[in-house]
Structure 1
Amino acid sequence: MKVQIYTMQTAAEALELAALGVDCLGVTPSDRGLPGEISNEMAREIVDALAGKATRVALSVEAEPQAIAAMVDAVRPDVLHLCGDIAKVTPVVVKALRSELLARHPDLKILQAIPMTGPEALDHAAAFEPVSDIFILDSVAAHIGGIGAAGVTHDWSLSREIVVRSKLPVILAGGLGPDNVGEAIRAVRPWAVDSLTHTNSPLASGGFRKDPAKVAAFVAAARAAA
C-alpha cells in the first residue's frame, strides 16, 4: 500500500516525511489561496531535494493549459496532479496537454482527480481513463478551489466501484487520517491512500505544518490494513 501526503511547504519538511516512509509527497504551487500553497520556486526546491527519496507530485487547479504547462516546466515534478474544474479541463484538453508535456518531460505521469460527488463520478472516471496514468478519488468543498482539500470523506462504495472498473492505479483521498485509513482501505482496496487535512498541525498564526507523528501513524495504519 503506497502512501501520498500533501502538502509540503519546505524542503526540510519534505525530507523529514520521506524518512518516515511516505512514497509520494505533494506540493501546491499556486497563488490562489489554496491550503499550503507555495511559489513555483519553493516547489522546485522541494522537488530537487526529494530526488531519489520519494515520488514528487505537483497539483494544479488552473483551467488554462498554458498555465499548467508553465508550472510543470518550472517545478519538474514526477507526477502532475490535475484537480481543477473538469468541465474546463476536459479529457480532450488533458489529451492535448499530455502530448505537449510528454514531448518535454517524457517520464511525467498524469494523476487525474475525480470529484466524488455522486454516481456521476463513474462516468467521469471512464471518460478520463484513456488520458490519465493514475486516478485520485477525492471529496469536494465549496470553499476550496478545485477537487480535494475538503477534509471530509465521501461514499466509499462509489470509490470501490471505480477501483473495480478501472485499469488504472487508484489513490483514495478525502478526509483520511490515522483513525480511519485502515477502514477505508478495507472498504475500497485502492492502490494508494492520500492525506492532507488530517495529518496537519495547525499554527497559531494560521496555516499549518505537517505533523510527523500523525504522518507516521497514518503510514503505519495504512501498511497494517494492506
Structure 2
Amino acid sequence: MYSVRIKICGVQDPFTAEAAALAGADAVGMVLAPGRRQVSPEQARAICQAMPPLVARVGVFVDAPADEVRQIACYCGFDLVQLHGRESPAYCRSLGLRCLKGVAARSRQALEQADNYPVAALLVDTYLPGRVGGTGQPFDWRLLENLPLKLPFILAGGLHPGNVGRAVALLRPYGVDVSSGVEVNGQKDLQLIKTFIKRAKEVSYHAAG
C-alpha cells in the first residue's frame, strides 16, 4: 500500500516538533544553516529530545564543513542530514551519515544527474537563482512526470494544504516536504500542519487503491 511520507521542515521549538509528530508527520527538519528559520545546535538537540520515537530527526545544512556536520549530527541525535548546497557526491560519501540531497529542479537532465548521488533520497526543490530552498514557490511538476529515477524523491517547493493532494496524486512521490506552506506570519501553525498531513495521507491512501 502506498503511503506518502511527510516532512515538516524549519521547526524551531520542541512543542511544534512534538505536535507535528503526533499529527502524523514522519520526519521533522531543523535548519542549521543561516536564515530566518535557523536554530542553534543546542536548540536542535532539545527539539530532537522532545520528539516521540520512530519519527525521523533531520538536520539541514548548506555547504558546511564535513567535520562540523558530523559533530552536530552526533550531538543533536539526527537520524538523517539534508544537504542543500553544492555538496558533491564525494562529500556525501565521506560523511558516513544517511543523507538527503537537495536538488534544484532546473531541468530533467539536472534531476537525472543527481540520481547518481550516494544518498538515501533526493529532495527536489524549486530553482531560484541565489536561493537554496525555502522559496515558498512551486516549480513545474511536469519535470518529474515519468522520470525514471533510481532514488526515491521527496517533493518540496511551494507545497501547502491546498495543493499537496494534487501533487501526491500526480507524482506519487516517496515523500513531501513543507515549511512556509504551514506558516502564518512566519510561524508554524498547528492547524495548517494537521490539514497538510491529512490531505497528503488521504490522497496517497486512495491512490494506492
What whole-Å deviation, never above 9, does each CA across 1:121-144 have from its counterpart, x for those lacking one? Answer: 23332331xx11111111133454
**What is the Cα deviation at residue 223 of structure 1?**
1.2
Structure 2 unaligned blocks of 5 or more: 205-209
1:101-120 matched pairs, under 5 angstroms: 101=97, 109-120=98-109
**What is the Cα deviation at residue 44 of structure 1?**
0.7
**What is the Cα deviation at residue 65 of structure 1?**
1.8
The match for 1:159 is: 144
Structure 1 Cα separation of the partners of residues 116 and 151 of structure 2: 13
**What is the Cα deviation at residue 197 of structure 1?**
1.0
1:128-139 matched pairs, under 5 angstroms: 128=117, 131-139=118-126
Q: Judge conservation of contact 1:159–1:172 (CA < 8 Å) in 2.
A: no
**What is the Cα deviation at residue 74 of structure 1?**
2.4
Aligned-partner residue type, residue 122 of structure 1: L
**What is the Cα deviation at residue 120 of structure 1?**
3.2
1:42-191 matched pairs, under 5 angstroms: 42-52=43-53, 54-85=55-86, 89-98=87-96, 101=97, 109-128=98-117, 131-142=118-129, 144=131, 146=132, 148-162=133-147, 165-191=148-174
**What is the Cα deviation at residue 51 of structure 1?**
4.3
Structure of greater relative contact order (alpha carbons < 8 Å, 6+ residues apart):
2
What whole-Å deviation, never above 9, does each CA across 1:166-210 have from its counterpart, x for those lacking one? Answer: 2322211110000001111122110111111110121xxxxx221
Selected match of 2:184 from 193, 198, 201: 201
Selected match of 1:217 from 173, 182, 195: 195
Structure 1 Cα separation of the partners of residues 180 and 128 of structure 2: 13
TM-score, length-scaled by structure 2: 0.89
Structure 1 Cα separation of the partners of residues 130 and 172 of structure 2: 29
What RMSD in Å do the two structures reach over aligned CA positions? 1.7
Structure 2 Cα separation of the partners of residues 75 and 222 of structure 1: 29
Aligned-partner residue type, residue 91 of structure 1: P
Residue-pair matches, total: 201
Aligned with 1:160: secondary structure?
A: coil
TM-score, length-scaled by structure 1: 0.82
Percent sequence identity over matched residues?
27
**What is the Cα deviation at residue 82 of structure 1?**
0.8
Correspondence 1:24 to 2:7: no
Aligned-partner residue type, residue 161 of structure 2: P
- Flag the 1:169–1:127 CA change in 2: closer, same or farther, 3 A: closer
- Flag the 1:22–1:200 CA change in 2: closer, same or farther, 3 A: same
Aligned-partner residue type, residue 160 of structure 1: E
Structure 1 unaligned blocks of 5 or more: 102-108, 203-207
Structure 1 Cα separation of the partners of residues 129 and 72 of structure 2: 25
Q: Judge conservation of contact 1:160–1:189 (CA < 8 Å) in 2.
A: no
Aligned with 2:142: secondary structure?
A: helix
